Chain A
Amino acid sequence: MLKVTDLEAGYGGSQVLHALSLHVGDGETVVVLGPNGHGKSTLLRAISGLIRPSAGRVEFNGVDLTRLPTEQIVGSGVVHIPQGDLPFPEMTVLENLLVGAYRPGAWSERAERIEKVFHLFPALAERKRQLARSLSGGERRMLALGRGLMSKARLLMIDEPSLGLAPLVTEQVYETIDEIKRSGLAILLVDENAEHVAGLADRMYLLEAGVLVREGAAADLLRDEALLAAYLG
């Protein structure tokens, strides 16, 4: 489904990602695990076109996305939910969700999609007329996820959804992602905490200093004790 080959990217003169290759299959949940500042967000930003890769190739269902503008990448079904939510603060919850359905294919189905999102996140339904900036941290994260689901996503890329959340809320967020996973959507999740994603991941990659150092079935990697020591903290 998603196939990344020898991807290189960075900011200005400094290269962050080095010849990075990974793939995500249909309906698969893949987790890229790595410490902060090792290129997890850069990876997602390079795939979604927010930064331009300097080399390599990003393919989605056989289509080359590498140098397409972000809106076309989103249009093809690769939807990126960035770190720190980036909600539209002066819009209501409902308006935020509607913007998520901006692409023509999604816009015509926006009413049903909103129903689905509200079903998944009842808290958002209660606050639909509230401005996004008045939401709590957990609700904002839910809104960001819901907004991502409004577009006709076929692959959801989620950037560290637990960042800055209280433990209880964190648990809810991962439960929701599990529910999204069970609906059959492919997920590429980047995270720094192995414990959070243990029950979620089908396959995992370990990212260190912009290089993927290990790959394997989640169950195998999680059995590796040296690794757990490094990533469970």
Chain B
Amino acid sequence: MEILDRLVQALYSGVLNGSVYGLMAIGLTLIWGSLRMLNLAHGALYIAGAYIAYGVLGGLGLPVPVTFALAVGGAALVGLFIQLILINPILEKPGRDSAALIATLAASIIVQSTILLIFGGQTKQLPPVVDGGFKVGTTLISYQGLVVIGAAVVCLLLMTIFLRASRLGLAIRAISQNMDAAKLMGIPIVPAFVVVMVISAALAGLAGVLLGSILFFTPSGGFTPMLMAMVVTIFGGLGSVGGTIWAAYIIGLMESFLAVYVGPSWALPGIFLFMIAMLVIRPNGLLGLGEVRRL
């Protein structure tokens, strides 16, 4: 029985990890694909989601689902401000690649410091959307975990449909594949960038809110999820949405299987070793197929 228990444990936490990584990484990859920018504020948006939920819950005492919706909206709003105030002004300037890197790092510091000023540095936790859970063998599967997995799967599906079937989604993919041609189709580039940032920030905020009720968090708690999201994004082939979703679950499962079968301290080093090996063999990522795949 013990073999089965460990397997259930590894699968459950792997899918849970993968769901959160997917939500985080899809935003990073969208921004990379269209703006060609590494958004170092992504982790700050994640933690902003968690703290906005914490603040709204403590201050206003609204029901948990309403609070979570407000927090996702709040993170999207923070993303909107970052884009309008820090990113848009440097888009047309020479040397925008490094300027964007510095601007997003600055945004991340501003957001984290603001959180620190308001909430202090103690660890916090959010209440779950639903209490309780059930046991499969010795593994406790919480309803909250299932909510996280369900929400992530729904969001990733919606994103895929949005990018394939909507007018705006097609425009975003067009920009990521050939910006000049996209302009000649009459697509306004800068407004499309703003939309991408808002969607990406909302997804990061959602990941923060969902994970905030499972893990404890502090103002700098967005760093590790962002790092994992970067690993996933690179693994999936930068800018490829399909590849990123696959990569999120593969990395999530790999992390939990390493933790369960080899030992928890092997999870992260194992993943990074694997990533280095993969970059040597498939430099364009998992779904690269010999060339860089775009949105």
A145 to B170, CA, bound (A): 19
A99 smallest CB distance to B (angstroms): 5
The answer to whether B184 touches A88 (Cβ under 8 A) is no
The answer to whether B188 touches A91 (Cβ under 8 A) is no
A87 to B184, CA, bound (A): 11
Chain A minimum-CB-distance residue to B174: A99
Range, interface on chain A = 20 to 34
A74 at the interface (CB under 8 A from B): yes
Cross-chain contact of B185 among A49, A90, A151 (Cβ < 8 A): A151
The answer to whether A102 touches B180 (Cβ under 8 A) is no
A70 to B188, CA, bound (A): 8
In the complex where A90-B294, A91-B173, A99-B174 touch, is A71 in contact with B187 (Cβ < 8 A)? yes
User: Chain B residues near A89 (CB, 8 Å)?
Assistant: 177-178, 294
Give residues 90-117 of A contacting B (CB, 8 Å). 90-91, 95, 98-100, 102-103, 107
A86 at the interface (CB under 8 A from B): yes
The answer to whether B185 touches A99 (Cβ under 8 A) is yes
B186 at the interface (CB under 8 A from A): yes
Give residues 163-178 of B contacting A (CB, 8 Å). 164, 167, 170-171, 173-174, 177-178
Cross-chain contact of B186 among A75, A87, A90, A91 (Cβ < 8 A): A75
Which residues of chain B have a CB within 8 Å of any CB of chain A?
164, 167, 170-171, 173-174, 177-178, 180-189, 293-295
Sample 9 A-B pairs with CB under 8 A, ordered by A number. Answer: A86-B180, A88-B182, A89-B177, A89-B294, A91-B170, A91-B177, A98-B167, A98-B170, A151-B186
Pairs A-B, 3 closest by C-beta atoms: A74-B186, A86-B181, A70-B183
Which residues of chain A have a CB within 8 Å of any CB of chain B?
48-50, 69-71, 74-75, 79-82, 86-91, 95, 98-100, 102-103, 107, 147, 151
